[in-house]
A and B are shown apart, each in its own frame.
Chain A
Amino acid sequence: MATTIHDDLFAPDVIADPYGYFGRLRAEDPVHWNARYEVWVLTRYDDIVWLIRHPELFSSEVFKRDPRPAYPPIPEADVEMYGFVREFFADFFIQHDRPSHTEMRMVTHSYFTPRAMEAWRPMVRAAIKDLLDDAEAKGQMDVMQDFATPLPVLVIARMLGLPEQDRRFIRELAQKLLFIGRGDLNRMRPLTDGINGLVDYLSPLIKERLAHPGDDLLSVLASGETRGAFSRDEVVANAVLLLLAGHETTINLICNGTLALIRHPEQWALLQESPALAGSATEECLRYDPPVKSLQRIAADDVELRGNVLRKLDRARWFIPSANRDPAKFPEPDRFDITRDPNPHVAFGSGIHHCLGATLARVEGQEAFSALIDRFPALHLTTEELEYQPSITFRSLKALPVTWN
């Protein structure tokens, strides 16, 4: 079928409502060649799971191997900075294929097991209580700034063993790295500054951990150098990754999930009556309005998919919001139902790159939603004018102002 769907992935209507735009692609042109950004856009659940479970066909070495220029475009003068940014991000373990991906992931994988993360639940709960105590005293809050943003930084900084007083500094630097998923013309400068700042901050700490290892996550990561899985540069880059990856994603989980619960008062009431539903409610939040909007692979060879030939080194981008609302996989996909079971959403991806921090995110989401409902049963929005960051990587609210009076 000929499609007249426009290719501007950053258009205001697509940013505001990705479900309409990508839902239409899913129905009409599920493996769509986006000529504007020279990228294949995948929108069906089964295609996406197949793609991400075939890492030998679709490489994760995007920054290393993508032969095409930055998209959206950047100024000619920034091309050198883009080279630096690409080289830095290429050291992330998630930007590697097998066998080096396995070697690198094994360094920290055991730190994040479901059993190990469960042990952090009391700490997460205590951090949430502190933040909500502060909010309660004010009588209103921006869920984004006052709750969702400080929580994951506090948790990951404590896991890494970083000093408490560095939290604000870390957050400011991490904020700059979020520009990677945004379309801003001048994004290369903040990205470069963010990388340099975090590298300068983390390098001496890593050196110290190598000399005197502790039981914190930064020591675990640094041990990857001792066992030959990482170079020093790779240890530093992956420390930046751990700070960053557990950050924007969890913020979005908490904000998007809180918004979904507020907009479905009968589901809010159900969770209030049955706190044991916190687990399945969090899964439904992850499905219904996922924190990560899309990720990219590079075709490692010519691959045929639904009658299209994806050529070697073509970009293939897979859209999680669309997969999670695919009617071929989920009955009544647009219905927000916190008792949904089974709920095989792909908010954390799938296959060998399935999110390393998935269980931690789940614990944070479960505790955050439970605490909000328990403490502020009358929580409601103070505005209906909600805006999203112009990102194709993240589904990020700019603010979520609420009150409970």
Chain B
Amino acid sequence: MARALRVRVDHTRCVGNAMCTTIAPGVFKLNDDRQSEAISPVGEPEEIILKAAENCPVSAIRVEDAATGERLF
């Protein structure tokens, strides 16, 4: 079974580029300010979530192992 993740978007950095919502629409959604919010850490496979984090142009997405706190991105 896939490990549980914790996914966060730093709103002091997010510019609403929306690459994360394109790559991982099951996890990220734009709010009324057009910034990204992590709505569900189980909405996509881990590799897709990591790909979304890597493609954030302002490094606003942080992904951790929920059990250990290990930073995965």
The residues of A with any CB-CB pair to B shorter than 8 Å are 53-54, 102, 106, 109-110, 112-115, 342, 344, 348, 350-352, 354-356, 358-359
A-B contact pairs, 29 of them (CB 8 A): A53-B33, A102-B22, A106-B22, A109-B55, A110-B54, A110-B55, A112-B57, A113-B54, A113-B55, A113-B57, A114-B57, A114-B59, A115-B54, A350-B16, A351-B15, A351-B16, A351-B17, A351-B18, A351-B34, A352-B16, A352-B17, A352-B18, A354-B15, A354-B16, A354-B17, A354-B57, A355-B57, A358-B58, A359-B57
A354 to B55 Cα, complex, angstroms: 13
A342 — nearest CB in chain B belongs to which residue? Answer: B12
Residues of B within 8 A of A358 (CB): 57-58
Q: For window 1-34 of chain B, which residues contact chain A by CB distance below 8 Å?
A: 12, 15-19, 22, 33-34
A358 to B19 Cα, complex, angstroms: 15
A343 CB, nearest partner CB in chain B, Å: 10
Residues of B within 8 A of A113 (CB): 54-55, 57
When the two chains form their complex, are residues A53 and B16 in contact, meaning their CB atoms are under 8 A apart?
yes
The residues of B with any CB-CB pair to A shorter than 8 Å are 12, 15-19, 22, 33-34, 54-59
A53 — nearest CB in chain B belongs to which residue? Answer: B34
Residues of A within 8 A of B22 (CB): 102, 106
Residues of B within 8 A of A344 (CB): 12
Assess A350 versus B57: contact at CB under 8 Å? Given A53-B34, A102-B22, A106-B22.
no
Residues of B within 8 A of A359 (CB): 57
Residues of A within 8 A of B58 (CB): 114, 354, 358
A121 CB, nearest partner CB in chain B, Å: 15
Residues of A within 8 A of B15 (CB): 348, 350-351, 354
Most buried by A among B16, B54, B57, B58: B57
A356 to B58 Cα, complex, angstroms: 11
A112 to B55 Cα, complex, angstroms: 8
A348 to B17 Cα, complex, angstroms: 11
Residues of B within 8 A of A356 (CB): 57
A355 to B19 Cα, complex, angstroms: 13
B22 — nearest CB in chain A belongs to which residue? Answer: A102
9 extra interface residue pairs, beta carbon distance < 8 Å, beyond A113-B54, A351-B15: A53-B33, A54-B34, A102-B22, A113-B55, A114-B57, A114-B59, A351-B17, A354-B58, A358-B57
Residues of A within 8 A of B34 (CB): 53-54, 351
B11 CB, nearest partner CB in chain A, Å: 10
A13 CB, nearest partner CB in chain B, Å: 32
A25 to B58 Cα, complex, angstroms: 31
A382 to B37 Cα, complex, angstroms: 51
A355 to B15 Cα, complex, angstroms: 11
A112 to B56 Cα, complex, angstroms: 10
A286 to B58 Cα, complex, angstroms: 15
A53 to B16 Cα, complex, angstroms: 7
When the two chains form their complex, are residues A109 and B19 in contact, meaning their CB atoms are under 8 A apart?
yes
Can you list the 10 inter-chain pairs with the closest CB atoms, starting with the nearest? A53-B34, A354-B17, A350-B15, A351-B16, A354-B15, A114-B59, A53-B16, A352-B18, A113-B54, A342-B12
A349 to B72 Cα, complex, angstroms: 29
A106 CB, nearest partner CB in chain B, Å: 7
A343 — nearest CB in chain B belongs to which residue? Answer: B12
Residues of B within 8 A of A106 (CB): 22
B59 — nearest CB in chain A belongs to which residue? Answer: A114
B18 — nearest CB in chain A belongs to which residue? Answer: A352
B23 — nearest CB in chain A belongs to which residue? Answer: A106
A112 to B16 Cα, complex, angstroms: 17
Most buried by A among B15, B54, B55, B59: B15
A47 CB, nearest partner CB in chain B, Å: 14
Residues of B within 8 A of A53 (CB): 16, 33-34
A117 — nearest CB in chain B belongs to which residue? Answer: B57
B34 — nearest CB in chain A belongs to which residue? Answer: A53
A354 CB, nearest partner CB in chain B, Å: 5
Residues of B within 8 A of A342 (CB): 12
Residues of B within 8 A of A352 (CB): 16-18
B20 CB, nearest partner CB in chain A, Å: 11
A110 to B18 Cα, complex, angstroms: 14
A361 CB, nearest partner CB in chain B, Å: 11
